[in-house]
Amino acid sequence: MSKKEIKIVGILFLVLLLVSGGLYGYRYYKMMKERSEIVYINVQHRDDIIAQIDISVDGIYEFTGDYGKLYLEVRDERYHVFDVECPDHTCEGFGWVGKDSIVTISCLPNSIFIFQ
């Protein structure tokens, strides 16, 4: 091999290395971006966070507060409370809360607060 051919092979190797590194970096960036978009619902009873729930996973959850039980339904990246054991049911009036909302569902008789 002549010096010219060695230079060409070396340049091609460097270009291939840069392109594959760029593709790997892009895939890693895309994966980390998707991972950071996961939103969690925090369920707080008094001063303690008693649950963190992934908003993208549908389900029904039961919590017990100071007054009684509270049910939380997560569906289609939204959530709401229902069948709450308390005297005023104000927390049920919040309705469905969506992703990236600043609304905090609060059930004062049960001392339960649900927020993102």
Show me where the domains of the chain are located.
Answer: 1-37, 40-115
Tell me which DSSP letter residue 78 carries: E
What mean pLDDT comes out for the span 50-76? 97
Longest dimension (CA), the chain: 90
Please tell me the pTM assigned to this model.
Answer: 0.69
Confidence band for 10, pLDDT divided at 50, 70 and 90: confident
Torsions phi, psi of 21, nearest 5?
A: -65, -40
Position 79 scores a pLDDT of 98
Rounded to whole angstroms, how far apart are CA atoms 15 and 45? Answer: 57
User: Using an 8 Å Cβ cutoff, are 97 and 82 in contact?
Assistant: no
Confidence band for 33, pLDDT divided at 50, 70 and 90: low
Can you identify the CATH homologous superfamily of domain 40-115?
A: N-utilization substance G protein NusG, insert domain (2.60.320.10)
Average pLDDT, the chain: 90
Tokens standing for 54? 């992934």
